A = this chain, B = another copy of it.
Amino acid sequence: MITIEEALEIVLKETKVLGFETVNILNSLNKVLAEDIYSKDNLPPFDKSAMDGYAIISDDTENASEEKPVKLKIKGTIKAGDFYKGQLKCGEALKIMTGAPVPNGADAVIQIENVEADNEEVAIFNPVEKNKNILNLGEEIKKGDIALLSGMTIRPSEIGLMASLGFSSAKVFKVPKMIVITTGDELIDVSEELISGKIRDCNGYSLMALGKNLQADVKFYGIVRDDMDVLFKKMQEAFEEGDIIITSGGVSAGDYDFVENCLKELGADIKFSSVAIKPGKPFTFAKYKDKLFFGLPGNPLAVINTFEQFVSPAAKKMMGKSDIHNKQFKVILGEDFKSVKGRTNYVYVNIEEKDGIYYAYKVGSQSSNQLLTISKANGIIILDKEMVKAGEEVNGRFIFK
Protein backbone atom coordinates (compact mmCIF):
# COMPACT_ATOMS: atom_id res chain seq x y z
CA MET A 1 0.00 0.00 0.00
CA ILE A 2 1.48 3.33 -1.05
CA THR A 3 1.12 6.73 0.61
CA ILE A 4 -1.12 9.53 -0.65
CA GLU A 5 1.94 11.55 -1.72
CA GLU A 6 3.41 8.62 -3.68
CA ALA A 7 0.05 7.94 -5.33
CA LEU A 8 -0.45 11.57 -6.36
CA GLU A 9 3.09 11.73 -7.75
CA ILE A 10 2.43 8.67 -9.93
CA VAL A 11 -0.92 10.06 -11.11
CA LEU A 12 0.57 13.42 -12.07
CA LYS A 13 3.60 11.82 -13.74
CA GLU A 14 1.24 9.91 -16.04
CA THR A 15 -0.93 12.97 -16.75
CA LYS A 16 -0.20 14.89 -19.93
CA VAL A 17 -1.64 18.23 -20.95
CA LEU A 18 -4.37 17.73 -23.56
CA GLY A 19 -4.24 19.50 -26.91
CA PHE A 20 -5.53 22.93 -27.90
CA GLU A 21 -8.75 24.15 -29.40
CA THR A 22 -9.94 27.49 -30.70
CA VAL A 23 -13.11 28.76 -29.08
CA ASN A 24 -15.18 31.95 -29.07
CA ILE A 25 -13.74 34.25 -26.40
CA LEU A 26 -16.89 33.92 -24.29
CA ASN A 27 -16.40 30.17 -24.16
CA SER A 28 -12.80 30.62 -23.07
CA LEU A 29 -13.90 31.80 -19.60
CA ASN A 30 -11.97 30.01 -16.83
CA LYS A 31 -10.01 27.97 -19.37
CA VAL A 32 -6.26 28.31 -19.88
CA LEU A 33 -4.89 30.42 -22.72
CA ALA A 34 -2.65 28.36 -25.03
CA GLU A 35 -1.06 31.18 -27.04
CA ASP A 36 0.56 34.53 -26.38
CA ILE A 37 -1.69 37.36 -27.50
CA TYR A 38 -0.08 40.36 -29.19
CA SER A 39 -1.90 43.57 -29.97
CA LYS A 40 -2.81 43.96 -33.63
CA ASP A 41 -3.45 47.70 -33.20
CA ASN A 42 -2.41 50.74 -31.23
CA LEU A 43 -4.86 51.34 -28.39
CA PRO A 44 -6.34 53.86 -28.27
CA PRO A 45 -6.20 53.92 -32.06
CA PHE A 46 -6.19 57.74 -32.02
CA ASP A 47 -5.57 60.59 -29.57
CA LYS A 48 -8.70 60.38 -27.48
CA SER A 49 -10.41 62.81 -25.13
CA ALA A 50 -10.60 61.48 -21.57
CA MET A 51 -13.28 64.01 -20.58
CA ASP A 52 -16.34 65.86 -21.77
CA GLY A 53 -15.01 69.36 -22.52
CA TYR A 54 -13.38 71.51 -25.20
CA ALA A 55 -10.47 70.59 -27.47
CA ILE A 56 -8.14 73.58 -27.66
CA ILE A 57 -4.62 74.70 -28.53
CA SER A 58 -2.83 74.99 -25.18
CA ASP A 59 -0.71 78.01 -26.25
CA ASP A 60 -3.97 79.99 -26.64
CA THR A 61 -4.54 79.78 -22.87
CA GLU A 62 -1.03 80.84 -21.78
CA ASN A 63 -2.24 84.18 -20.35
CA ALA A 64 -5.69 83.08 -19.19
CA SER A 65 -6.72 84.27 -15.71
CA GLU A 66 -9.82 84.77 -13.58
CA GLU A 67 -9.63 88.50 -14.32
CA LYS A 68 -8.87 88.12 -17.99
CA PRO A 69 -10.33 84.86 -19.30
CA VAL A 70 -9.37 83.71 -22.77
CA LYS A 71 -12.36 83.41 -25.07
CA LEU A 72 -12.29 80.89 -27.92
CA LYS A 73 -14.76 80.54 -30.78
CA ILE A 74 -16.66 77.22 -30.74
CA LYS A 75 -16.44 75.64 -34.21
CA GLY A 76 -18.67 72.65 -33.53
CA THR A 77 -18.99 69.42 -31.55
CA ILE A 78 -17.17 66.09 -31.82
CA LYS A 79 -19.14 63.17 -30.44
CA ALA A 80 -17.59 59.85 -29.49
CA GLY A 81 -17.47 57.84 -32.69
CA ASP A 82 -17.21 60.94 -34.90
CA PHE A 83 -14.03 61.88 -36.70
CA TYR A 84 -13.44 65.60 -37.30
CA LYS A 85 -11.75 66.12 -40.63
CA GLY A 86 -10.87 69.81 -40.26
CA GLN A 87 -7.94 71.48 -38.52
CA LEU A 88 -8.30 73.51 -35.33
CA LYS A 89 -6.78 77.02 -35.65
CA CYS A 90 -5.59 79.54 -33.07
CA GLY A 91 -8.49 81.16 -31.23
CA GLU A 92 -10.81 78.20 -31.89
CA ALA A 93 -12.24 75.40 -29.78
CA LEU A 94 -14.32 72.29 -30.48
CA LYS A 95 -16.71 70.86 -27.97
CA ILE A 96 -15.66 67.24 -27.45
CA MET A 97 -17.18 64.22 -25.71
CA THR A 98 -15.37 61.57 -23.68
CA GLY A 99 -13.87 58.98 -26.02
CA ALA A 100 -14.01 61.20 -29.11
CA PRO A 101 -10.87 61.68 -31.25
CA VAL A 102 -8.99 64.90 -30.54
CA PRO A 103 -9.06 67.00 -33.76
CA ASN A 104 -5.98 67.91 -35.76
CA GLY A 105 -4.35 71.02 -34.36
CA ALA A 106 -5.67 70.63 -30.82
CA ASP A 107 -3.21 69.57 -28.13
CA ALA A 108 -5.32 69.67 -24.94
CA VAL A 109 -8.85 69.22 -23.64
CA ILE A 110 -10.30 71.39 -20.88
CA GLN A 111 -13.04 69.83 -18.76
CA ILE A 112 -16.57 71.15 -19.21
CA GLU A 113 -16.79 71.83 -15.44
CA ASN A 114 -13.87 74.35 -15.68
CA VAL A 115 -15.23 76.70 -18.38
CA GLU A 116 -18.10 79.05 -19.07
CA ALA A 117 -19.67 78.67 -22.48
CA ASP A 118 -22.59 79.75 -24.61
CA ASN A 119 -23.33 78.57 -28.13
CA GLU A 120 -20.70 80.82 -29.62
CA GLU A 121 -17.79 81.10 -27.23
CA VAL A 122 -16.04 79.30 -24.42
CA ALA A 123 -14.29 81.26 -21.64
CA ILE A 124 -11.17 79.72 -20.03
CA PHE A 125 -9.83 81.07 -16.72
CA ASN A 126 -6.53 79.26 -16.32
CA PRO A 127 -3.66 78.18 -18.56
CA VAL A 128 -4.14 74.59 -19.77
CA GLU A 129 -1.15 72.24 -19.95
CA LYS A 130 -0.24 70.65 -23.25
CA ASN A 131 -1.70 67.10 -23.57
CA LYS A 132 -4.13 67.68 -20.67
CA ASN A 133 -7.01 65.12 -20.67
CA ILE A 134 -5.73 63.43 -23.83
CA LEU A 135 -5.11 59.69 -23.99
CA ASN A 136 -2.47 59.41 -26.71
CA LEU A 137 -2.53 56.94 -29.58
CA GLY A 138 -0.94 53.70 -28.34
CA GLU A 139 -0.82 54.84 -24.71
CA GLU A 140 -2.64 51.71 -23.50
CA ILE A 141 -0.88 49.25 -25.77
CA LYS A 142 1.19 49.53 -28.95
CA LYS A 143 0.79 47.42 -32.07
CA GLY A 144 2.93 44.29 -31.62
CA ASP A 145 3.17 44.56 -27.82
CA ILE A 146 2.36 41.47 -25.82
CA ALA A 147 -1.02 41.63 -24.08
CA LEU A 148 -1.64 38.19 -22.55
CA LEU A 149 0.68 35.27 -21.86
CA SER A 150 0.02 31.64 -22.68
CA GLY A 151 -0.74 29.66 -19.52
CA MET A 152 -2.94 32.18 -17.78
CA THR A 153 -6.47 31.32 -16.72
CA ILE A 154 -8.92 33.53 -18.60
CA ARG A 155 -11.11 35.78 -16.41
CA PRO A 156 -13.78 38.33 -17.41
CA SER A 157 -11.12 41.06 -17.71
CA GLU A 158 -9.09 38.99 -20.19
CA ILE A 159 -12.20 38.37 -22.27
CA GLY A 160 -12.82 42.12 -22.34
CA LEU A 161 -9.18 42.76 -23.23
CA MET A 162 -9.23 40.24 -26.09
CA ALA A 163 -12.40 41.85 -27.44
CA SER A 164 -10.81 45.31 -27.30
CA LEU A 165 -7.82 43.95 -29.23
CA GLY A 166 -10.00 42.46 -31.96
CA PHE A 167 -9.75 38.79 -30.98
CA SER A 168 -13.15 37.14 -31.27
CA SER A 169 -11.71 33.69 -30.57
CA ALA A 170 -8.86 32.30 -28.50
CA LYS A 171 -6.68 29.21 -28.50
CA VAL A 172 -7.17 27.41 -25.18
CA PHE A 173 -6.22 24.08 -23.66
CA LYS A 174 -8.92 21.46 -24.13
CA VAL A 175 -10.94 20.29 -21.15
CA PRO A 176 -10.95 16.54 -20.52
CA LYS A 177 -13.81 14.33 -21.59
CA MET A 178 -14.70 12.48 -18.40
CA ILE A 179 -16.63 9.21 -18.52
CA VAL A 180 -18.39 8.05 -15.35
CA ILE A 181 -19.47 4.45 -14.78
CA THR A 182 -21.00 3.17 -11.54
CA THR A 183 -20.95 -0.57 -10.87
CA GLY A 184 -22.93 -2.91 -8.67
CA ASP A 185 -26.01 -5.17 -8.82
CA GLU A 186 -27.35 -3.39 -5.72
CA LEU A 187 -27.65 -0.02 -7.50
CA ILE A 188 -30.84 1.44 -8.89
CA ASP A 189 -31.35 4.89 -10.41
CA VAL A 190 -32.80 7.71 -8.33
CA SER A 191 -36.15 7.48 -10.12
CA GLU A 192 -36.60 3.72 -9.54
CA GLU A 193 -38.55 2.17 -6.67
CA LEU A 194 -36.46 1.07 -3.70
CA ILE A 195 -36.94 -2.69 -3.58
CA SER A 196 -35.38 -5.36 -1.35
CA GLY A 197 -31.61 -5.38 -1.26
CA LYS A 198 -31.21 -2.34 -3.52
CA ILE A 199 -29.87 1.14 -2.84
CA ARG A 200 -30.04 4.23 -5.02
CA ASP A 201 -26.94 5.16 -6.99
CA CYS A 202 -25.61 8.43 -5.63
CA ASN A 203 -22.02 8.17 -6.86
CA GLY A 204 -22.97 8.74 -10.50
CA TYR A 205 -24.55 12.05 -9.49
CA SER A 206 -21.73 13.13 -7.15
CA LEU A 207 -19.16 12.39 -9.86
CA MET A 208 -21.06 14.22 -12.59
CA ALA A 209 -21.33 17.27 -10.33
CA LEU A 210 -17.65 17.08 -9.33
CA GLY A 211 -16.66 16.92 -13.00
CA LYS A 212 -19.00 19.77 -13.94
CA ASN A 213 -17.42 21.96 -11.24
CA LEU A 214 -14.04 21.36 -12.89
CA GLN A 215 -15.49 22.41 -16.29
CA ALA A 216 -14.87 18.89 -17.60
CA ASP A 217 -17.03 17.49 -20.36
CA VAL A 218 -18.76 14.77 -18.33
CA LYS A 219 -20.71 11.81 -19.71
CA PHE A 220 -22.47 9.22 -17.55
CA TYR A 221 -22.49 5.71 -18.98
CA GLY A 222 -24.97 4.63 -16.31
CA ILE A 223 -25.06 1.81 -13.79
CA VAL A 224 -23.32 -1.37 -14.93
CA ARG A 225 -24.39 -4.69 -13.38
CA ASP A 226 -21.83 -7.03 -11.83
CA ASP A 227 -21.19 -8.80 -15.12
CA MET A 228 -17.66 -9.07 -16.42
CA ASP A 229 -18.63 -9.01 -20.12
CA VAL A 230 -20.90 -6.01 -19.84
CA LEU A 231 -18.38 -4.04 -17.76
CA PHE A 232 -15.55 -4.96 -20.15
CA LYS A 233 -17.51 -3.64 -23.14
CA LYS A 234 -18.45 -0.42 -21.34
CA MET A 235 -14.86 0.18 -20.25
CA GLN A 236 -13.56 -0.47 -23.76
CA GLU A 237 -16.04 2.07 -25.10
CA ALA A 238 -15.09 4.55 -22.35
CA PHE A 239 -11.39 4.29 -23.23
CA GLU A 240 -12.30 5.05 -26.85
CA GLU A 241 -14.31 8.14 -25.99
CA GLY A 242 -12.86 9.62 -22.83
CA ASP A 243 -9.68 11.22 -21.57
CA ILE A 244 -10.45 10.34 -17.96
CA ILE A 245 -12.45 7.22 -17.11
CA ILE A 246 -13.92 6.90 -13.63
CA THR A 247 -15.66 3.90 -12.13
CA SER A 248 -17.05 3.58 -8.65
CA GLY A 249 -17.37 0.25 -6.87
CA GLY A 250 -15.99 -3.11 -7.90
CA VAL A 251 -12.47 -2.52 -6.56
CA SER A 252 -12.35 -4.27 -3.18
CA ALA A 253 -11.38 -7.91 -2.63
CA GLY A 254 -14.86 -9.36 -3.24
CA ASP A 255 -15.69 -12.13 -5.72
CA TYR A 256 -17.71 -9.69 -7.83
CA ASP A 257 -15.19 -6.88 -8.04
CA PHE A 258 -14.46 -7.02 -11.74
CA VAL A 259 -12.79 -3.69 -12.43
CA GLU A 260 -9.21 -4.88 -12.08
CA ASN A 261 -9.88 -7.97 -14.17
CA CYS A 262 -11.34 -5.85 -16.94
CA LEU A 263 -8.29 -3.57 -16.88
CA LYS A 264 -5.99 -6.59 -17.17
CA GLU A 265 -7.96 -8.04 -20.06
CA LEU A 266 -7.86 -4.68 -21.83
CA GLY A 267 -4.09 -4.58 -21.37
CA ALA A 268 -4.17 -1.41 -19.26
CA ASP A 269 -1.13 -0.58 -17.17
CA ILE A 270 -2.29 -0.79 -13.54
CA LYS A 271 -0.04 1.56 -11.56
CA PHE A 272 -1.46 0.84 -8.09
CA SER A 273 -4.63 -0.53 -6.55
CA SER A 274 -4.52 0.54 -2.92
CA VAL A 275 -3.60 3.80 -1.20
CA ALA A 276 -3.13 4.51 2.52
CA ILE A 277 -6.00 6.97 2.64
CA LYS A 278 -9.17 6.84 4.72
CA PRO A 279 -11.77 7.02 3.32
CA GLY A 280 -10.67 5.63 -0.03
CA LYS A 281 -8.19 2.76 0.40
CA PRO A 282 -9.38 0.46 -2.42
CA PHE A 283 -8.43 2.88 -5.17
CA THR A 284 -7.07 1.72 -8.53
CA PHE A 285 -5.15 3.89 -10.95
CA ALA A 286 -4.27 2.71 -14.45
CA LYS A 287 -3.16 4.08 -17.77
CA TYR A 288 -4.21 2.86 -21.20
CA LYS A 289 -3.28 4.60 -24.47
CA ASP A 290 -2.67 7.98 -22.79
CA LYS A 291 -6.07 7.77 -21.12
CA LEU A 292 -6.27 7.86 -17.32
CA PHE A 293 -8.34 5.36 -15.39
CA PHE A 294 -9.51 5.98 -11.82
CA GLY A 295 -11.23 3.05 -10.11
CA LEU A 296 -12.82 4.65 -7.09
CA PRO A 297 -14.34 2.75 -4.15
CA GLY A 298 -18.09 2.29 -3.79
CA ASN A 299 -18.55 4.27 -0.60
CA PRO A 300 -20.02 7.71 -1.33
CA LEU A 301 -17.72 9.61 1.01
CA ALA A 302 -14.66 7.76 -0.32
CA VAL A 303 -15.70 8.60 -3.88
CA ILE A 304 -15.75 12.34 -3.16
CA ASN A 305 -12.55 12.14 -1.12
CA THR A 306 -10.50 10.30 -3.75
CA PHE A 307 -11.89 12.45 -6.56
CA GLU A 308 -10.78 15.63 -4.80
CA GLN A 309 -7.41 14.15 -3.86
CA PHE A 310 -6.42 12.49 -7.14
CA VAL A 311 -8.82 13.07 -10.06
CA SER A 312 -9.13 16.82 -9.59
CA PRO A 313 -5.38 17.65 -9.77
CA ALA A 314 -5.00 15.35 -12.81
CA ALA A 315 -7.93 16.97 -14.62
CA LYS A 316 -6.57 20.44 -13.87
CA LYS A 317 -3.14 19.47 -15.18
CA MET A 318 -4.74 18.10 -18.38
CA MET A 319 -6.40 21.46 -19.02
CA GLY A 320 -3.15 23.36 -18.61
CA LYS A 321 -3.75 24.83 -15.14
CA SER A 322 -0.66 25.64 -13.13
CA ASP A 323 -2.36 25.82 -9.75
CA ILE A 324 -3.48 22.20 -9.48
CA HIS A 325 -3.04 21.33 -5.81
CA ASN A 326 -5.63 21.71 -3.08
CA LYS A 327 -4.45 24.55 -0.86
CA GLN A 328 -3.70 23.33 2.68
CA PHE A 329 -3.30 25.42 5.80
CA LYS A 330 -2.83 24.99 9.56
CA VAL A 331 -5.94 24.18 11.59
CA ILE A 332 -6.27 24.03 15.38
CA LEU A 333 -8.48 21.24 16.69
CA GLY A 334 -11.52 22.53 18.54
CA GLU A 335 -12.03 19.11 20.16
CA ASP A 336 -10.41 15.67 20.42
CA PHE A 337 -10.37 13.48 17.30
CA LYS A 338 -9.72 9.76 16.85
CA SER A 339 -8.47 8.19 13.64
CA VAL A 340 -7.56 4.81 12.17
CA LYS A 341 -3.98 3.49 12.39
CA GLY A 342 -1.88 2.81 9.28
CA ARG A 343 -3.63 5.21 6.92
CA THR A 344 -3.78 8.98 6.51
CA ASN A 345 -7.23 9.94 7.76
CA TYR A 346 -9.19 12.70 6.07
CA VAL A 347 -11.77 13.73 8.61
CA TYR A 348 -14.66 15.88 7.36
CA VAL A 349 -15.14 18.83 9.69
CA ASN A 350 -16.46 22.32 10.00
CA ILE A 351 -13.59 24.82 9.76
CA GLU A 352 -14.27 28.18 11.37
CA GLU A 353 -12.03 31.23 11.20
CA LYS A 354 -11.49 33.45 14.23
CA ASP A 355 -9.01 36.36 13.97
CA GLY A 356 -7.17 34.75 11.09
CA ILE A 357 -6.82 31.36 12.83
CA TYR A 358 -8.69 28.27 11.66
CA TYR A 359 -10.38 25.87 14.09
CA ALA A 360 -11.89 22.44 13.29
CA TYR A 361 -15.06 20.99 14.81
CA LYS A 362 -16.83 17.66 14.33
CA VAL A 363 -19.88 17.44 12.09
CA GLY A 364 -20.96 13.86 12.65
CA SER A 365 -20.10 10.25 11.96
CA GLN A 366 -17.14 9.54 9.66
CA SER A 367 -18.64 6.21 8.61
CA SER A 368 -17.72 6.10 4.97
CA ASN A 369 -21.19 6.01 3.49
CA GLN A 370 -22.54 9.06 5.20
CA LEU A 371 -23.06 11.80 2.65
CA LEU A 372 -25.01 13.48 5.40
CA THR A 373 -21.72 14.11 7.20
CA ILE A 374 -20.10 15.81 4.24
CA SER A 375 -23.21 17.92 3.68
CA LYS A 376 -22.52 19.55 7.06
CA ALA A 377 -18.76 19.92 6.47
CA ASN A 378 -16.85 22.71 4.74
CA GLY A 379 -13.39 21.19 5.10
CA ILE A 380 -11.17 18.29 6.10
CA ILE A 381 -8.40 17.81 8.60
CA ILE A 382 -5.58 15.38 7.88
CA LEU A 383 -4.68 13.03 10.73
CA ASP A 384 -1.69 10.67 10.82
CA LYS A 385 -1.88 9.40 14.38
CA GLU A 386 -4.60 7.62 16.30
CA MET A 387 -5.39 10.22 18.94
CA VAL A 388 -5.21 13.96 18.61
CA LYS A 389 -6.29 16.36 21.30
CA ALA A 390 -8.14 19.66 21.28
CA GLY A 391 -5.63 22.50 20.81
CA GLU A 392 -3.23 20.46 18.62
CA GLU A 393 -2.34 21.86 15.19
CA VAL A 394 -2.84 19.76 12.05
CA ASN A 395 -3.08 20.38 8.30
CA GLY A 396 -6.48 21.00 6.75
CA ARG A 397 -8.18 22.43 3.71
CA PHE A 398 -11.55 23.51 2.46
CA ILE A 399 -13.50 21.08 0.28
CA PHE A 400 -15.04 21.76 -3.15
CA LYS A 401 -12.65 24.67 -3.76
Contact = CB atoms under 8 A, between A and B. Distances in A.
Given A26-B208, A160-B300, A252-B98, A155 B400 contact: yes
B256 A79 contact: yes
A210 B154 CA distance: 12
Given A98-B252, A253-B112, A372-B140, A187 B156 contact: no
A203 B166 CA distance: 13
A208 B185 CA distance: 46
A298 to B, nearest CB: 7
A387 interface: no
A255 interface: yes
Contacts of A92: none
Interface in A110-141: 112-113, 135, 139-141
A374 B156 CA distance: 10
A157 B202 CA distance: 9
B203 A160 contact: yes
Contacts of A185: 79-82
Interface in A12-62: 25-26, 29-30, 41, 43-46, 48, 52
A205 interface: yes
Nearest to A82: B197
| Copies of this chain in the oligomer | 2
A337 interface: no
A42 to B, nearest CB: 10
A89 to B, nearest CB: 21
A43 B163 CA distance: 53
A309 interface: no
A156 B256 contact: no
Contacts of A201: 163
B156 A209 contact: yes
B255 A209 contact: no
A167 interface: yes
Interface string A205-236: 11111101100000000000010000000000
Contact of A45 (B77, B79, B199, B367): B199
B184 A254 contact: no
A160 B371 contact: yes
Contacts of A161: 202, 371-372, 375
Interface of A: 25-26, 29-30, 41, 43-46, 48, 52, 77, 79-83, 95, 97-101, 112-113, 135, 139-141, 147-148, 152, 155-168, 184-187, 190-191, 194, 196-210, 212-213, 226, 252-256, 298, 300, 303-304, 356, 367, 369-372, 374-375, 399-400
Given A77-B255, A166-B194, A356-B356, 19 more contacts: A25-B190, A26-B209, A26-B212, A29-B212, A44-B369, A46-B196, A80-B186, A80-B197, A81-B226, A99-B199, A113-B253, A140-B372, A148-B375, A159-B205, A160-B303, A163-B200, A164-B199, A164-B200, A165-B200
